[in-house]
Amino acid sequence: MEIISTVVVLVVKSLIFILGMFLAAAYLTLIERKFAGHVQQRPGPLHVGFHGLLQPIADALKVLTKEDLVPNNVDKVLFYLASLMAFVPAIMILAVIPFGDPIKIFGFEIKPYITDINVGLILALAFGSISIYGVIFAGWASNSKYPMIGGLRKAAVLIGYEVALGFAMVGPIMMAGSFSLREIVQAQEGFFGAFIWYQPLAFIVILFAILAETGRTPFDVQEAEAELVSGYNTEYSGMKFGLFPLAEWYIGTFVLSAIAVILFFGGWKGPHIFGAFSPFIWFFLKVFMMFMFFLWVHWTLPRYRVDQITEIAWKVMLPLSLLNIFITAIIIMVKG
């Protein structure tokens, strides 16, 4: 009976997290369009609902009702599988992200995470690495030169930045002494206990890696419209097309921002000024600020060439991440 109740709780939690992520991703699109409008001195979405508040619903209905075209001569199995391979791993990372410590509501203990395992950070990295197969499959299965070039560009970028990202995460892991994301947060006590003060190099590397992972400007060479039409998803339409930006730009950016907040900014820790919900409010406020930073970069900076991006990865970010491990070891020795 206990096993059944545990399974039911996990299923309900998973559904709540997934539906919540869909809703959040939908309205992150509205936030981005409003932000882009202000950057470009225009109002952004206005007409669907009050000040455009129903625009995400209209966009979702539009994508769902679009005709789903499948070009001739594509590898149909990989063509259908590609969008799922890009989308599912991004959602699965939610399984290991804690949104706060357990709290009691009406006498019931609520754990705001699906699971807490000792290797949560490694599992998040693994899920993130799997998503590259979706892009490669999309490029290969489309049987077209533009998607193929876009897929190869994305693979070339991610190979370099995945290595730097992994080494950059070693610093916070060494300081916390654990791969558990909850224990990493617990190790950051007080304002000056946040790892950002001891790991600035790792934070810089991870910022660049998140931009590369999510394919945002200035690292969006896989979708360079002037060169590749739309890149690896050129031949896609309907919901299969919609899953790619949903997974990369919104869900991917959200979960990677959440991991960065956990590693460097103390996760949900903050002044207890919002009552029992203080941890959740602080956590989502920090994640939102990270997301807005990536939007600012996306709508401000021009695109790099693919050779410049890979050169930054191997010649700058990788050495910095290795240097950070050495510096972290010295800090741990000094602190005793």
- DSSP letter for each residue of 236-290: --HHHHHHHHIIIIIIIHHHHHHHHHHHHS-TT---S-SGGGHHHHHHHHHHHHH
Q: Of 202 and 1, which is predicted with more confidence?
A: 202
Residue 287: band (very low, low, confident or very high) from pLDDT cuts 50, 70, 90: very high
Q: Which candidate, 55, 68, 65, 61, places its Cα nearest to that of 27?
A: 55
8 Å CB contact between 112 and 98: yes
Q: Would you tell me how many other CB atoms lie within 10 Å of the CB of residue 186?
A: 15
Q: Would you tell me how many other CB atoms lie within 10 Å of the CB of residue 285?
A: 14
Model confidence, pTM: 0.89
Mean pLDDT computed over 296-300 = 86
Mean pLDDT computed over 102-127 = 80
Phi-psi region of 37 (alpha: psi -120 to 50; beta: other; left: phi over 0): alpha
| 227, pLDDT greater than 70 | no
Mean pLDDT computed over 204-215 = 88
| 322, pLDDT greater than 90 | yes
Residue 192 is classified by DSSP as G
Tell me, what's the pLDDT at 69?
77
Residue 113 is classified by DSSP as S
Mean pLDDT computed over 257-285 = 86
